[in-house]
Amino acid sequence: MSIAKSKLTSKLTQKYQATIPQAVRKKLEIEQGDRIIFEIEDDKVVLKKLSPLDWEYLESVSATLGEWSSEADEKAYRDL
């Protein structure tokens, strides 16, 4: 079983914006207003559609993450 690969390009604007090619939009089933996520894996970036449930979860926990960003925490966990 082989997986077909496609190489698609898009040009960056002055504001570093790019159009997602139609073949990618169709494959990911993304539409205007949908949220996407970029996952960095070594030297690759993976683009995925973010489901509404995932986005709601990320928004709900983001406010709680600041409690570990003090200078004392940085010093205590710097060597981990």
pTM of the model as a whole: 0.58
Model confidence at 68: pLDDT above 70:
no
The share of the chain scoring above pLDDT 70, in percent, equals 85
Structural domain for 52, as ranges: 22-77
pLDDT band at 71 (very low <50, low <70, confident <90, very high): confident
- Averaged over 44-50, what is the pLDDT? 91
53 within a domain of the structure (yes/no):
yes
45 within a domain of the structure (yes/no):
yes
Tokens 């409690």 correspond to 67
Cβ(49)–Cβ(34) below 8 Å:
yes
Q: State the total domains in the chain.
A: 1
CB contact burial 35-57 (16+ within 10 A = b; e otherwise): eeeeeeeeeeeeeeeeeeeeeee
Residue 23, strand partner residues: none
Cβ(49)–Cβ(28) below 8 Å:
yes
